[in-house]
Chains A and B, each alone.
Chain A
């Protein structure tokens, strides 16, 4: 290990995401690996900092969904200051945070769908890279309106974040035990009945339209959408006490590929009884698994697809309707079709838009009782459903209020094994007996990874279009082919 650490730079190709594929004598794919090449050292350097800094510090790991880290850390700090877990806060505290979170889900899902995924869907995966992006969409007469919708939906979500957190990116609204501001009547009215399109009703109708847009696409491309990189797996997420989809707070639930419950009603303060991580030498990203099934069988998916597999229903009417159609497609069984993640994500956007409206209509947001405290604890765990899946924050604090230990499991890390599986499947389908990296293969690998919307080490997301390098080795580990793009 020592020889890895050096100050003298050596030449390597740029790449945040890297794939290597190994072939056997017969030219069959035996091993495919997805390497994550970023390391920050957060768990160590946060030690010694006062605990109340955590919610503002840690979000700097990821500027794409900083609210998730902000709230994940704040929820852990709620436990530390004795305010209990999620539902222990004052109504104003909890609901302001929920509003912030659903604002974030809306903006992040809009970003993913309109800015990143829709150019592939609408312009085609093989369109010229120079136009296959959001700028290409806004400058194309056919799609300009749709692109503008995406931009405005993201704007609305960002403005909700600004009104609840103080800033659009890296805000400071959530503090241990609650929130540092409430929502003024003027702010509320602007979000509820603001000038078109920036109001709650328009967001709901656009989110509905996006679900329809995906279903139309599905009808035309059923084969690809249903079969591309499909594989069975376990699924994990938080669900509300009553089994409802809830992205802010709940209990841990995991189901297997058949829908049997592996974990249910688990208080996440005890996550260490159920989840461990494996370290592998070829990537900085760890591999979490359910301890009761072990590292080989215990891996699972998180994110929109997993959440709609674990929850029983969606507590807002329009999203519930869309959910019923979605569930009927697999006869109520867990959905393991990778590309259906887009569908699930759009149903969640609709749920977020409806939730925002409900929250805005609640006068608790104007309450004055913002913070709660109780008996100080030494250890706290905060979990939240980030846009890309379950996010774990765990801290231990010493008597001088300094952080002594921090452990983070970010959403993309949970999806580490699933992404490796997806790549292996695609590699086998495209490569067996070819011995050469082809253009469709590059595309397929990228699309398979992108469906997970990975936020690589929560810092190298590259807007879903990370640089990709694929290397092919023969059975003697000799390099046969390498392609970068």
Chain B
């Protein structure tokens, strides 16, 4: 039987959810036997090379390019899982929702104590090379259809491991109370 193929990405996340997956520790050896990885920051594969079975998404959408990556994941993955608070509800980056983005930029580049006296020309990052910031941070399910949600910030390694195994074996998920946390 062909091994299931997994892809992962971090949109507007902190990589903590990816780190939590690494916290399965030595079971990474089992994982390497069990699945194959396509596009993922765990390897050097930067574009999809084939249709994948499971896509794990960390982070919500804060830039236009996050939206494009998420759409590409929906297109290329049979099952999409929103992993962690950021993917599910926007998480910490969504604390900027409700604040005009100009205020955020002004604080970082004009008003901060280390730029206040030096940025006389009032320079702002506004080059064509920079992607476009969205008006607010969007959770993944507002952009594409998401099949499963794994809560936690980050979800515990056990929870991710159990969920992956359940998806791979098409079995019911073992969900002990201790690993299931909203934090």
Interface size of A as a range: 35 or more
Which residues on the A side are within 8 Å of B101 (C-beta)? Answer: 5, 41
User: Given A9-B134, A15-B65, A272–B113 Cβ distance below 8 Å?
Assistant: yes
Please, what's the 1-or-0 string for A123-140, where 1 marks a CB less than 8 Å from any CB in chain B? 000000110111110110
- Cross-chain contact B92 with A60 (CB below 8 angstroms): yes
**Does B171 sit at the interface, judged by CB under 8 A?**
no
Which residues on the B side are within 8 Å of A279 (C-beta)? Answer: 109, 115, 119, 123-125
For the complex, what is the distance from the CA of A136 to the CA of B32, rounded to whole Å? Answer: 9
Please, what's the 1-or-0 string for B98-112, where 1 marks a CB less than 8 Å from any CB in chain A? 010111111111001
Look across to chain B and name the residue whose beta carbon is closest to the beta carbon of A38: B63
**Does B139 sit at the interface, judged by CB under 8 A?**
no
- Cross-chain contact B104 with A45 (CB below 8 angstroms): yes
For the complex, what is the distance from the CA of A371 to the CA of B101, rounded to whole Å? Answer: 38
Chain A binder among B7-15, B74-82, B162-170, B172-180: B7-15
**Does B161 sit at the interface, judged by CB under 8 A?**
no
- Cross-chain contact A60 with B16 (CB below 8 angstroms): yes
**Does B133 sit at the interface, judged by CB under 8 A?**
yes
- Cross-chain contact A169 with B68 (CB below 8 angstroms): no
In whole Å, how far is A354's beta carbon from the nearest beta carbon of chain B?
23
- Cross-chain contact B14 with A39 (CB below 8 angstroms): no
For the complex, what is the distance from the CA of A11 to the CA of B133, rounded to whole Å? Answer: 13
**Does B37 sit at the interface, judged by CB under 8 A?**
yes
- Cross-chain contact A61 with B14 (CB below 8 angstroms): yes
Which residues on the B side are within 8 Å of A132 (C-beta)? Answer: 43-44
For the complex, what is the distance from the CA of A385 to the CA of B52, rounded to whole Å? Answer: 40
Residue from A37, A168, A467 in contact with B129 in the complex, judged by beta carbons closer than 8 Å: A37
Residue from A41, A66, A111, A130 in contact with B43 in the complex, judged by beta carbons closer than 8 Å: A130
Which residues on the A side are within 8 Å of B43 (C-beta)? Answer: 129-130, 132-133, 135-136, 465
Residue from A4, A11, A133, A459 in contact with B126 in the complex, judged by beta carbons closer than 8 Å: A4
For the complex, what is the distance from the CA of A15 to the CA of B9, rounded to whole Å? Answer: 12
Which residues on the A side are within 8 Å of B23 (C-beta)? Answer: 155, 158, 168-169
Known: A282-B129, A286-B108, A459-B12. 19 other contacts (CB 8 A): A12-B65, A14-B46, A15-B65, A35-B130, A41-B104, A132-B43, A135-B31, A136-B43, A154-B22, A170-B154, A279-B109, A279-B115, A280-B125, A281-B123, A284-B125, A286-B114, A394-B113, A409-B114, A467-B46
Tell me the B residues contacting A by CB distance below 8 Å: 10, 12-20, 22-23, 25-26, 28-29, 31-32, 37, 41-46, 62-65, 67-69, 72, 91-93, 95-96, 99, 101-109, 112-115, 117-119, 123-127, 129-135, 153-154, 157, 183
In the complex, 27 of the A-B residue pairs with CB atoms within 8 angstroms, ordered by the A residue number, are A10-B132, A12-B65, A14-B68, A14-B69, A38-B62, A40-B96, A43-B107, A43-B112, A45-B96, A63-B13, A63-B19, A66-B16, A115-B22, A129-B45, A135-B37, A148-B26, A148-B29, A155-B25, A278-B115, A279-B125, A280-B123, A281-B127, A282-B125, A405-B113, A407-B113, A409-B114, A465-B43
Tell me the A residues contacting B by CB distance below 8 Å: 1, 4-7, 9-15, 18, 20, 33, 35, 37-41, 43-47, 57, 60-64, 66, 111, 115, 129-130, 132-136, 138-139, 148, 151-152, 154-155, 158, 168-170, 272, 275-284, 286, 288, 295, 394, 405, 407, 409, 458-463, 465-467, 484-485
